Amino acid sequence: MNKIREQIDRELREVKVSPGMLEEARRAAFGDQETDQGRRGHMTFGTGRAWRRKGRRTAVMAAVLVLACITAGAAGIFGNFGAYFYGDTEPYQDRILQSAQHEENDRFAMAVDGAVSDGRQCMFVFSLQALDRAGRKELASYLGKKGTAELSGDVALYACFEDGVREPVGGLSVFSWDDLQSRDFQSYVLTVSAENVPGGSLDGVTRIDVEYDGMVLTVDPGRSVHGVELKPEYAGSSLFSENDPSDLRGVQTPQYGNGVEMPDASAESGMGVTMPGVSGGSEKDPGMAVSDEKAAGGLVEDVFLSPIGFSFRGTGEDFSVWLIRSDGTLADGENDMAYSYGFSRNTEDNEVTVYGDFRYEIIDLEEYSGLCINGVNYYKTE
Amino acid sequence: MEKNQLIKNREAMIEDLFSQHADPLLRMCFLYLKDMQAAEDAVQETFIKAFRHCHEFRGDSSPKTWLVRIAVNTCKNMLRSEKELLSMEHADLEGLLPSREGDQAVRLTVAGEIGKLPLKYREIILLYYYQELDAKEIADILGLPRTTVEYRLRRAKALLKPGLKEMYFDE
């Protein structure tokens, strides 16, 4: 037995199950008709408390339900910003811009619960609870086969400026997570990127109005977390073999140019990322991230990393983005970070602005040194 | 073998698991949920599920790993569905232990430091050091790539070391 386990057992020696718990579990599992009586008859320290707690919870839940009915279902739609992070609240606790708000009509209660912004993206949780049959039917219509719900175009966002102008926000990123979806209740993370705001910046936006079913709540888009600019590393920045850029197996034999350690091959399978071959960036022009535009999938510049996501501008079709941890290893989006990409394309010069927002966590920038975009490393400069 | 006999054997397996692992499971759930009563509920729920689904156990993993997987999933579900538990994230573990008359306050060194870790690191440490599972088993239980488990383990150890002064790491 290792020392940590030994010490935990020593420290928590008083934490023991009650001997009756097994019998209680057996009865509960097999639906013994006398279970409840048995539970009461065999109530012991641990088990009894557990069941009393369940009883108390049931009573509390009933009271909450009654209260929810009285208050037209307002209860239960708050706290989802915390739920989104599975209780791992430490990294963002002091960075939430606003407390929860809610509004309701006959059909729905809706809530905005927490917001975080880095000046380029603003994310917040938006929740809906059906209060009547029509509302339930509408929410049910959002549910897909996989259990995730799609708000589609039913929620509208407006950017409000200092001069009173109110403009619709386009290209909204809507993320729903399975755990909080049902016919009666749904919760989403909405991300507004600067690119989608008229004027291309969140700086002049005084508030964002969230409109649904005739109701309006507001979000403060002010900056609550700070990001950093990233610059390319030129010498030896190529990570991947150029022999066969289309072959993902090439990733297994990378050219380690700068001490970056690729995840092992087992983590690569099924990631579905494209790994175009790249050459090193130009040493002559610091504004040029990559010298071989075609191979790299386009020019990349204005690379920005913040606790809630990243962004950069580039030309081309394919971008694969990895976070570089401080120890030099890479975190990939699909498996480690679960970030998503949003693309905003300017049709005039074929330039795209790529936005990624991290899922389920706000990262600590101290733990990361930069981004690897299409095989070129971009590092923090401050 | 008759079906009834098979079920009896499986139930006997659950009884064995209870006698060997129930206390460590409760301690793991306590450190996971940071709530003693919720931990008791979680362990009870774990054994209810174990009884109900013991006939589905195929032996692909060890019975202990199977049981720990049920317990971890139960804890995760409780965290997701019972928001009151989320508010316990920053609670001091020592204040959450059951108090007994005449006892001096329990001093939690290792458990206290583990309790301070964010959940994603805490669960890795609990499974690796306390349940003594390897990275592959942990990856299977948590549904994460093995590389992610290994990274989080390294990170979790780094977070623990200042508080524990490296005295408890065997490596």
What pLDDT shows up at residue A70? 33
pTM for this model (two decimals):
0.51
Rounded mean pLDDT, A35-45: 29
Q: Which residues of A touch B44 (CB under 8 A)?
A: 21, 24-25, 28, 47, 50
- What single-letter DSSP state applies at residue A100? -
Q: Which residues of A touch B114 (CB under 8 A)?
A: 8
Q: Do A22 and B129 touch (CB under 8 A)?
A: no
- Asked whether the predicted pLDDT for residue B96 surpasses 70, the reply is no
- Segment A197-216, tens digit of pLDDT: 888 888 889 999 999 999 99
Cα angle vertex A72, ends A67, A75, to 5°? 55
ipTM of predicted complex: 0.87
- Segment B12-27, tens digit of pLDDT: 888 999 999 999 999 9
Q: Where in chain B is the domain with CATH 1.10.1740.10?
A: 1-100
CB of B29 closer than 8 Å to CB of B75: yes
- Asked whether the predicted pLDDT for residue A52 surpasses 60, the reply is no
CATH number of this structure's domain B1-100: 1.10.1740.10
Comparing A169-183, A313-327, B39-53, the range with the smallest average pLDDT is A169-183
Distance in Å, alpha carbon of A180 to nearest chain B alpha carbon? 8
Regarding predicted confidence, which is higher, B57 or A17? Answer: A17
Q: Do B120 and A88 touch (CB under 8 A)?
A: yes
Q: Which CATH number fits domain A80-219: 3.40.50, 3.30.450, 2.60.40, 1.10.1740?
A: 2.60.40
- Identify the closest residue of chain A to B29 by CA–CA distance: A15
B70 touches chain A (CB under 8 A): no
In the sheet that A205-212 helps form, which strands lie side by side, from edge to edge?
A166-168, A155-161, A205-212, A215-219
Rounded mean pLDDT, A140-144: 82
- Identify the closest residue of chain B to A267 by CA–CA distance: B145
Q: Which CATH number fits domain B109-171: 1.25.40.10, 1.10.10.10, 3.30.360.10, 3.20.20.480?
A: 1.10.10.10
E strand or H helix at A370, and its extent? strand A368-373
Q: Which residues of B touch A87 (CB under 8 A)?
A: 79, 85-86, 89, 119
Regarding predicted confidence, which is higher, A292 or A92? Answer: A92
- What single-letter DSSP state applies at residue A69? H
Average pLDDT, chain A: 68
Burial of B99 (0-12, 13-18, 19+ CB in 10 A): exposed
The string over A39-59, giving b where at least 16 C-beta atoms fall within 10 Å of a residue's C-beta and e elsewhere, is beebbeebbbbbbebeeebee
Q: Where in chain B is the domain with CATH 1.10.10.10?
A: 109-171
- Identify the closest residue of chain B to A29 by CA–CA distance: B48
CB of A307 closer than 8 Å to CB of A356: no
Q: Do B168 and A7 touch (CB under 8 A)?
A: yes
What percentage of chain A exceeds 70 in pLDDT?
59
Rounded mean pLDDT, B30-39: 90
Distance in Å, alpha carbon of A21 to nearest chain B alpha carbon? 7
- Show me where the domains of chain A are located: 3-70, 80-219, 228-380
Residue with the two structure tokens 């619709």: A168
